[in-house]
Amino acid sequence: MLSLKRSYSVALAVIFGLLTLIGLVAVPSLADIILGWAALLATVALVLGVLNLFRIHGRRAADGNFYSGVLVLSMLVVFGLALTDAFNLTTGGVTAIFTWIQIPLEAAMSSLLAFFLVLAGARLLQHKRNGWSILFLASALFFAIVQAPLPTGIQEIVEPIRSIISTVLVTAGVRGLLLGVAIGVILLSLRVLVGLERPYSQ
């Protein structure tokens, strides 16, 4: 049974992968239809994901987990404001939530990231006192200083160094990463098309 299920899934994956490939290459409409089904499925999956998240955190909130309760409550509030905005009962309710709650929170989280990165960089040599640590720390400090707004006098001194570093070193590295990712995506797509890779079965 399991092998049969796998066979069906593999077959479907292979079939729709090839159809999508063919559609992208030869028949764009066919590709659009298949991609529309995929988008629909992704949307349903998003809804299922939201419901599953609500169920789980609702259970934990029932068990007394405070944060889960806040999460569930936030979901209900946002969903409620969305409904009210949809039925014009309210105006800009969801936007307000995003503006006054989510954006400051996410900004705070990013600032904390900056805070922890600074602290980690400061204590790097406390745990790893080797050349690579020093190099890593020096790079971070260099790029932090170079990328930072500097006074005009200093900016002119640092700009050629930063331009070289960003256009040569950083672009080379990122390009290599992108090429690698692109090769990996091609390989992965071929494996999926031939059934060797089954990410859908996990």
Partner 1 sequence: MKEINCKHCGGPNAVGSRFCGHCGASLQPSSEQICPSCQTVNSIDLLYCDNCGTRLNPDAGEEDESESAANAGGTPQPFSLPERSPGQTGPLDIEQELPDWLRTGEVDDDQEPSTSLDLDAPEESGITHRPQDDLPEWLVEEEGIGAIFESDKSTDELFERDSTQADEGKDQEPLPSWLEGLSPEGTGPLPTLPLADLDEAKIGAEETDIPDWMAEVEQDDDAMSPSQDEAVVEGVDAVDAERPYDNASEDEFDVSDELVMDDSPWTGADLAFPDWLLSERGESPEEKTRTESDEDDFPDWLSRSDEEEVPPDQMPDWLRDDVSASPAPPRSQDPYVSRPREVEEGVPEWLGSSRPPEASPDWDADRAEPDMADTTYEMTGIPTGEEQEDEKKAEEAPHTHSARGEDEPSETYASEWEASFLADEVTAEPSESMSGDEDADATFLRWLNSLEDEQPETAETNEAEAGEAAGDLSLETVTASAAESETAHEQALPGWLDELDEVDDEESDTSSEDIVAADIPSWLRDLAPPGTGPLPQPNAEEPAPATPLSEGSDDLLTDIDTSADLPDWLAVSADPQTLSDSESTEGAHGAGSDPAEGEEAPEEGIPDWLASIVADEGETAESTDETIESDETLIEADQLDSEHDWLSPSLSLAEERLDDGGAEVEVGPAADVEDETSTGDDAGYESLPEWFIAAAAAESIVTDERDSELDDELEPTGPDEIDDDFSGLPAWMRDIAADEADSLTLLDIGTESDSPPEEETPGIEHVPGHAPEQDRAEVTAYESPGEPAPEAEDELWEALDLMEAELGMPAAADEASSAVEPAAIEDMPPWLQEVEKEMEDEAESDGVPANATIAESDSEMPEWLVAGLGGQALVELSEGDLLELQEEASLEDLLAELAPPDQGKAADELSRAQIPAWIENLRPGIADEDIDFADDTAPESGPLTGLPGVVAVAPAIAAIEAAGSARVATERNTITKEQQQQVILLRQLAQAGTVVVPGEATRAPSSRVSASLLLSAVALFLLTAIFAGRLMPDLLSVAPPPVADVQVAETALAESAEQPVIVAFDYSPAVADALDAQADAFLRALAANNSTVLYLSQSPAGLALAEMAMARAEPTQAVNLGFIPAESIGLRRLAACLDADNPCLSPFGEPLATETSAALGDAALIVILTGDTTTLVDWIEQVGAAHDVPILAGVTEAVAPVAAPYAATGQVQAVLAGAGAAQALGGSDSSPLTSLALAQWTAVALILVGGVYFAIVGQPRGDRR
Residues that bind partner 1 (CB under 8 A): 28, 31-32, 35-36, 38-40, 42-43, 46, 92, 94-95, 97-99, 102-107, 109-111, 113-115, 117-119, 121-127, 129, 134, 137, 140-141, 144-152, 155, 158-159, 162, 166-167, 170-171, 173-175, 177-178
Supply the DSSP symbol for 199.
G
Q: What are the tokens at 120? A: 């980690």
Residue 17 three-state SS: helix
The identity of residue 199, as a single letter, is P
- Beta carbon of residue 20, minimum distance to partner 1 (angstroms, whole number): 10
CA distances from residue 185 to 10, 23, 68, 124 in whole angstroms, order as listed: 18, 18, 37, 35
Query: Smallest distance from the beta carbon of 181 to partner 1, in angstroms?
Result: 8
**Rounded to an integer, what distance in angstroms lies between the CA atom of residue 41 and that of residue 189?**
19
Q: Which is nearer to partner 1, 138 or 190 (CB)?
A: 138
Considering the complex, state which of residue 5 and residue 73 has its C-beta at the smaller distance from partner 1.
73
Q: Which is nearer to partner 1, 15 or 135 (CB)?
A: 135
Question: Is the distance from CB of 23 to CB of 30 less than 8 angstroms?
Answer: yes
Give the nearer residue to partner 1 in terms of CB position, either 7 or 110. Answer: 110
